[in-house]
A and B are shown apart, each in its own frame.
Chain A
């Protein structure tokens, strides 16, 4: 069966520090991968998605970047965190584009920038 792992679960980072959140999927090949952010009082916001190794699409301009170095690995990064980067980050995968099919989410990372 397929599983998705996301870590760390919580993270407290000072402003200006770098960030690296990792997501891996097991039990499937060539998944579509997504990074979402969920802010308090707001719906999930799509940040990045990837349909293959090295292929990254960004939905909104921001202080973050994403990379897909391996088929089932998706990384969210920042060189210098801002206070506004605080939030709940979710990784997700789907067999086909997420708009068309079932999506499976990781457990999330609660990031607090102080």
Chain B
């Protein structure tokens, strides 16, 4: 089982609608959690990065939340646009022994239709 689980695996919404993507993680403890947007065939682009002490972080129409107690994060997209069609990846920076490591989720594939 992946240590960073994302749901849903894929999602289709109409332009202008809102949506929320989920991320549950089992790694413990961690230093930060981040969300990336990856267009098809392109490299990931950072949307938000949150430390352990942060609960919410916004970047334009993107708002990420983090609940360290339940080990859950969500990414809310407001007033979706066609350009929001992409894969959204949750990444947790976790302690692994004496090292730190990025644990990548498999992403949620979002399609925004006109």
Contact = CB atoms under 8 A, between A and B. Distances in A.
B23 to A, nearest CB: 12
A106 B106 contact: no
B104 A100 contact: no
Contact of B93 (A43, A99, A110): A99
B72 interface: no
For A88, A90, A102, A105, which residue has the most chain B Cβ atoms within 10 angstroms?
A105
Contacts of B20: none
A51 to B, nearest CB: 14
- Size range of the chain B interface in the assembly: 20 to 34
Interface in B62-114: 89, 93, 100-107
Nearest to B90: A43
For B2, B43, B101, B104, which residue has the most chain A Cβ atoms within 10 angstroms?
B43
A99 B41 contact: no
Contact of B41 (A43, A97, A103, A108): A108
A44 B100 CA distance: 16
- Size range of the chain A interface in the assembly: 20 to 34
Contacts of A41: 106
A2 to B, nearest CB: 13
Interface string B28-70: 0001100000000111111001000000000000000000000
B88 to A, nearest CB: 13
Interface string A78-114: 0000000000101010000111111111111010000
Contacts of B21: none
28 contacts: A42-B106, A43-B103, A43-B104, A43-B107, A44-B44, A44-B89, A44-B102, A44-B104, A46-B101, A90-B43, A90-B44, A92-B43, A97-B100, A98-B102, A99-B31, A99-B93, A99-B100, A99-B102, A100-B31, A100-B100, A104-B46, A105-B44, A105-B45, A106-B43, A107-B42, A108-B41, A108-B42, A110-B41
